[in-house]
Homo-oligomer: A and B are copies of this chain.
Amino acid sequence: MFDNPERTNLEQLGEFGLIDHITKAVELKEPSTVKGIGDDAAVLDFSGKKMLVSTDLLLEGIHFDLRYVPLKHLGYKAVQVNLSDIYAMNGIASQITFSIGLSSKFPLEAVEEIYAGALLACQKYGVDLVGGDTSASVQGLVISVTSIGHADGEAVVYRSGAQVGDLICVSGDLGGAYVGLQLLEREKRIFLENPNIQPDLEGKDYIVERQLKPEARKDVVELLARLGIKPTAMIDISDGLASEILHICRASGKGCKLYEDKIPIDPMTYETAREFGIDPTVCALNGGEDYELLFTIRQADYEQVKGQPDISVIGHVTDADGGYELISKSGNVHPITAQGWNAFTSR
């Protein structure tokens, strides 16, 4: 695609031309957006609600590999990853700013793909794109997203509110994004060794999609509101269940007991992990990028969640002396440690 003779050159278009071109597709629908792109700053009006702000930086070669991530998916995922932080506060996202730095090796069509993905995510989640920055880069592709959301003052849920006896819940299923990544990495290696071999991802749609096109759990925030449940603590799962439950426990000054057999793992995740010789539970604990919500609720709310197919109760909160424990399927007790991803380790 980059060698397409009809490619439109970014140098010809210039920064203002590029911004004009991109922003044509941007529509504003949120009532809290007073003014979007086109001035020095966006103007928002939340009329008395608490505002939420979160930001992420995504760098080529660290957070994504353009050899197997389609650009449109990349734009979509960059937005989802960031919205997920707003939902993890029990808020509703309403605006994003989307900034991009890219070298002139990218034609206009590549930029359009990234923005198309970002705008698709915005549309689907009811979010306005209200600003951003566009720059040349002498390095690789750089994406920075900031999302803005809101919640009634009382509704905001922090990581720090878990109480002894609370039930630990997780939405959806875990480990899929990590196993999907293993699959994509394997196919990339095969392709690099022999470019004539086409990637074999047949029947693996679910886990590939978990990696390339995650969906932030706005629906779970809405479901909890409908059920009348306010979690006592909440976080989104970006670095793996182990790392996230430790964040909640430490912020709350509590311990936890998780049960391996309660951790929701999709059958395709399970089988593919086995094919790779990896323990599926380890994928759920340390894989990351699932963007599910991990939260604690009072025991009194159990009746409300137990019939919900998309919520699993996986353990409970103990006092700090109880430590951080995983009870394995065979009944053994393992300490939970954050093997979380260290972005500064040489790889």
Contacts and interface: CB of A to CB of B under 8 A. Distances in A.
B99 A55 contact: yes
A342 interface: yes
Main secondary structure of the interface of A (DSSP, over half): mixed
Contacts of A140: 138-139
Given A57-B99, A57-B135, A40 B340 contact: no
A214 to B, nearest CB: 15
B130 A53 contact: yes
A144 B57 contact: yes
Number of copies: 2
Contact of A144 (B55, B153, B159): B55
Interface residues of A, number: 79
A16 B48 contact: no
Interface stretch (A82-90, A165-173, A218-226, A257-265): A82-90
A45 B85 contact: no
Interface stretch (A31-39, A190-198, A300-308, A309-317): A31-39
Contacts of A206: none
A69 interface: no
Given A46-B51, A104-B346, A41 B138 contact: no
Contacts of A97: 53-55, 146
A61 B56 CA distance: 22
A86 B131 CA distance: 13
A55 B344 contact: no
A215 interface: no
A4 interface: no
Nearest to A341: B15
Contacts of A50: 34, 43-45
A235 B45 contact: no
Interface stretch (A6-14, A174-182, A273-281): A6-14
Contact of A89 (B40, B85, B100): B40
B146 A62 contact: no
A251 interface: yes
Nearest to A42: B53
A135 B59 contact: yes
The 8 A-B residue pairs with the shortest CB-CB distance, nearest first, are: A139-B139, A41-B54, A144-B144, A61-B138, A40-B88, A40-B85, A136-B343, A41-B52
Interface of A: 10-11, 13-16, 18, 34-35, 38-48, 50-57, 59-63, 84-86, 88-89, 91, 95, 97, 99-101, 104, 130-140, 142, 144, 146-149, 153, 156, 158-160, 234-236, 251, 338, 340-346
21 contacts: A35-B158, A39-B89, A39-B158, A39-B160, A40-B85, A41-B53, A41-B54, A41-B88, A41-B149, A42-B53, A46-B51, A51-B51, A59-B135, A59-B136, A60-B139, A97-B146, A101-B142, A136-B344, A139-B139, A139-B140, A139-B142
